[in-house]
Amino acid sequence: MALGNKKNVIVGAASIYIGPSGIDKPATSGTTSYRTTLDADADWRNVGYTQDGFEVSNDPSWGEVEVDQLLDSVRIFKDGMSFSASTTFAEATLENLLVAWGQAESTLTSTADEKELEITGGDLGEAPLERGLIAIGNATEVTGSNKYGERTYHLYRVLSVESTSTSVARADASTIPVTFRALPADNGRYGVLRDRMNVA
**Could you tell me the CA-to-CA distances from 6 to 136, 137, 146, 150 in Å, in that order?**
21, 18, 12, 17
Under the banding of pLDDT at 50, 70 and 90, the label for residue 21 is: very high
Contact by Cβ (8 Å): 100, 164: yes
- Let me know how long the chain is: 200
Q: How far apart are CA 25 and CA 199, in angstroms?
A: 18
Q: What is the predicted pLDDT for the residue at 42?
A: 96
* Domains of the chain, each with CATH number or no CATH: 12-112+130-196 (2.30.110)
pLDDT tens for each residue of 30-51: 999 999 999 999 999 999 999 9
Contact by Cβ (8 Å): 92, 102: no
Q: How far apart are CA 24 and CA 185, in angstroms?
A: 11
**What is the pTM for the complete model shown?**
0.92
Q: How far apart are CA 37 and CA 26, in angstroms?
A: 7
User: Which residues does 36 contact at the CB level (< 8 Å), separation at least 6?
Assistant: none
Number of other residues whose CB lies within 10 A of the CB of residue 199: 20
What is the three-class DSSP state of 98? Answer: helix
